[in-house]
Structure 1
């Protein structure tokens, strides 16, 4: 958790101590950094709290009927802003009325984890595709990217707690190895599953399948 706190503090110091608050463009840039880092910190805290509650056997879902196209569009809009023009994010749903019974908060956070990873593990020109469709097992949600990909050995471990995928020449990727563990936890709590299709240099597709009942 130290990284987002340190970055937010640095941006705040720049606003207060180095005159950035008097420059509209710099002020907006630093405020955006602070907002993003606080959101990242909030996500980390929520994942830790969720896993702690789950380990004590007290975890419950608040299911409701969710329309998937608006949900995916909302997530895409947030990450287009976060990508600052370097990310092309497409959304596709098999029918505008495609729905699933799920916990809105946790499903949203699980999908946001996948999109955030797609941004972090991609290169300069990011292409991400969010899609939803009905399959034999229920509802299938996909997050596909054109990132650096994941080798076969790492794929066997990526959903384990605290495991971090080797990033090759990418040294700016921060994390604690909790995001994908959280995604799998949420998928399984819904009675579903999460899998990945990937290869080095060819991007990744994460497939979240939820029962349709």
Structure 2
């Protein structure tokens, strides 16, 4: 059997802003208190480079030009709507074209949260279906509704709502079945 080699582009301060995907980790503003910004974007975001990565101070996350940058943070907003995130250069991935299968969905059933991750994530389990970005976003909306609401489940016979919800969501994440197809299968039981 042939071994698959995954090559990833090396990102630096000179190219990290060119069509990339990254998950920044929230950090406190004191991390940059003695630093001067290396760059300020037209939209007002400031960037502070280090040898290993970059700090980004911004009031907007998600789509940034042709990049897709998420912020995962438990830190409350410290100034206005500004949030500070940090990412190592090795956290950046090439943001592939809109129609390329590049993202998978991760669900935390305890906190009832759902997010998407790049297929090059070292934690990818090779079980969740990899989809294009728009299909992934649409599916996340459906999954959020399933996790937050219970009205949809009243038409089905189940013993434990949380287990039933998990079963339906995992079917969506790990197969190419649509929510309507899953509902029809459940109704047939």
TM-score range, shorter chain: under 0.3
* Higher Cα Rg, which structure: 2
Task: Give the TM-score of the pair, scaled to structure 2.
Answer: 0.25
Task: Give the TM-score of the pair, scaled to structure 1.
Answer: 0.23
